[in-house]
Amino acid sequence: MKYVYYYDYTILKIGIAEDDDAICRIFFESENEPEDYKKTETPLIKIAALRIGEYIKGKRKRFDLPVKMDGTEFQLTVWKALQEIPYGETRSYAQIAEMTGNPKSSRAVGMANNRNPIPIIIPCHRVIGSDGDLTGYAGGLEIKKKLLELEKKFNR
């Protein structure tokens, strides 16, 4: 059974989803509510919500939650690389491509980043364009900007 529960934080509204005792999705307010999930706050979802709240307050820099990510081998490699970007820092798509051992795959990295099912916990917001510009984000560029500003503020 898949579960989802919604939270309103100071900078964003999200749904946190669980499947098989692992966090499997984070839904932004702008996304459609999933139909095949039961709206229930499970103990794991509640823990994830508390930890995301700590992150937003600058009291948490890493997540240690069980996650379940379905994707291609390449996507899983990219999502693992995203977790290696230190709190408060950014990397370009080209740098992530290098980290995955596929230096010419910047565009594919962008597509994998776009399909990240667990944003914030898997920090795809830390990936920016080579020129330093903010690029697409499922929650919108304003949320991406807020997350990066939050990390910069608390990374002292």
- Which residues neighbour 13 within 8 Å (Cβ) at sequence distance 6 or greater? 6, 7, 28, 29
In three-state form (DSSP H/G/I as H, E/B as E, the rest C), the secondary structure along 31-59 is CCCCCCCEECCCHHHHHHHHHHHHHHCCC
Bridge partners, residue 6, by sequence: 15
| 75 phi and psi angles, rounded to 5 deg | -60, -45
- The DSSP 8-state label assigned to residue 107 in this structure reads H
Tokens describing residue 55:
């992150």
Active site residue 24: no
Q: Give the residues across from 128 on adjacent strands.
A: 92
Catalytic residue among 99, 121, 124, 127: 124
- Which active-site residues does the annotation give? 124
